[in-house]
Amino acid sequence: MGATLQTVADQVGVSRSTVSNAYSRPDQLSPELRARILAVAERLGYPGPNPSARSLRRGKVDAIGVLLTANLSMAFRDPYAVAYLRGLAEAAEQRKTSLLLIPLPHNDQEGALDAVRNAAVDAFCVYCVPDWFKALEIINFRGLPVVGGEDPAITGQLSGEVGFVGIDERKAARRLAAHVAALGHRRVALIGHWITDTSVTGPVDVHPDELRYYVSGERVRGFRDALVAAGVDLADVVLINAAENDRLVGAEAAGHALDRQDRCTAILSTSDVLALGVLDALAVRGLRPGRDVSVTGFDDIPEAAAVGLTTIRQPSVERGRIAGELLLDPPADPQARHRVLPTTLVVRATTGPINQESSS
C-alpha cells in the first residue's frame, strides 16, 4: 500500500492538516517545517493530495471551459482563433487559471453534450456555438459564469453571471461592402463559411434571413445591406458557401465566381483565410487583385497585411483577453459585462476601381 497523507503526518509528527497545508497553503507553515514535510513525502513516495479532491473541497478547479463548434485541430489552424485564445490565455495566466478546450463536433452531438456536462471548469467561454446547439441549455443548467462572443441574444437567454464580448458584425460588413460598391463594382460574389448546413462548396440560393450561423449570416447580411443601398441588383450577386474556413476551400469557392461567363468583378469573403484562397485562385487564372478583380477579407490576420488584403480589422487578442477578465473578475454592474468592441476598415491593394475591360 502506498504512502498516504496520514503516513507522512505520522513520520513527521504533525497533523494531517499540517501536511495538507504544506501543499495547498504553504504560507501557513515555516519554510523549515514545509521543507521537512516535503522531504519525508518524497522519501516515502507520497505524490501529494489528489488534485481533484482538493478542487472539490475548495469548490474551484481554476479552469475555464472554451466551447467551439469545430475540430480541435481547426482551432489551431485558424489565425483568428489562435489570436483570440492567446488573449484569453493571457488573462487566465495572470489569475493562475488554465483553459480547457471543448470541441463540439456536429457529427457527435451527444458526445459533445457529455463533454460539457462533465467538464471540470469554473466558467465557460462560448467562443463559437450556434443558438440551436443544446450545449447552451446544459451551461444554463450548471449555473456557471459564461461569456459569449457571437450572438448577444444567446447570452441574453442565459441566467446567472453572463457576459458578452464581440463586435457589430453586420455594421462592419456594411462598411466593407460600401467601400467596394463605391468603386463601381456591381457583379459581386459573397463567399462565406457555413452559410448553410451543406458540406458542399458552391453557389447557394437562400434568403439572408435563413442563414443559420450567426457570424457568417450577419456578415453576409451586412454585405447585402450595403450593396442594396448602392443600387446593386441582387440578381448580380452570387452567394457561395464554403464548406470549411480553409484556404484551399476559399480557392475552390472563388472558382464559382471567376469561371462564369459574366465573371464577378469583386469577391467579398467572410474571413481573411477564405480571401487568401480567393487570391490563390486569381493567381492561377492570371488575374490581378485590385485590378481585374477586387477582393476583401474579414479579421485582419497577420498574413492579410503581407498580401495587401483589404479587410476589417477587429481586436482579436483584446477580445479574448476581455472575455477572460469578465469571467475571472466580473464587474458588479451587469451592463459592464456587455462589451461591443470597435472595428476598422483597412483598405489595401486588393481593392480598386472597376476595370471596364473586366466588367464588359
pLDDT digits 0-9 by tens, 173-195: 999 999 999 999 999 999 998 77
Instruction: Provide the angle, in degrees to the nearest 10, between the axes of the packed helices 31-44 and 5-12.
Output: 120
- Alpha carbon separation from 110 to 65, 106, 128, 238 (Å, rounded): 18, 9, 18, 36
Nearest residue to 66 via CA among 324, 331, 244, 322: 324
Q: What is the pLDDT of residues 199-249, one digit of tens each?
A: 789 999 888 777 878 899 999 999 999 999 999 999 999 999 999 899 999
Q: Which three cell numbers stand for residue 110?
A: 451527444
- Using pLDDT thresholds of 50, 70 and 90, give the confidence band for residue 155: low
Which whole number is the average pLDDT over 344-350? Answer: 98
Please, is 228 exposed, middle or buried when counting C-beta atoms within 10 Å of its C-beta (0-12, 13-18, 19+)? middle
Nearest residue to 17 via CA among 1, 39, 33: 33
State CA 26 to chain mean position distance: 38
Q: Could you tell me where the beta strands, DSSP code E, fall in the chain?
A: 63-68, 98-103, 123-128, 146-148, 162-166, 188-193, 202-203, 237-242, 266-269, 294-296, 311-313, 338-340, 344-346
- In this model, does residue 99 exceed pLDDT 90? yes
Length of the chain: 360
Q: What is the pLDDT of residues 88-97, one digit of tens each?
A: 999 999 999 9
In the chain, what are the domains?
5-58 (1.10.260.40), 63-167+316-329 (3.40.50.2300), 169-313+346-359 (3.40.50.2300)
Residues contacting 116, CB < 8 A, separation 6+ = 65, 67, 102, 104, 124, 135, 138, 139
Q: Which three cell numbers stand for residue 234?
A: 441582387
Q: Are 29 and 36 in contact (CB under 8 A)?
A: no
Question: Model pTM?
Answer: 0.82
- In this model, does residue 352 exceed pLDDT 70? yes
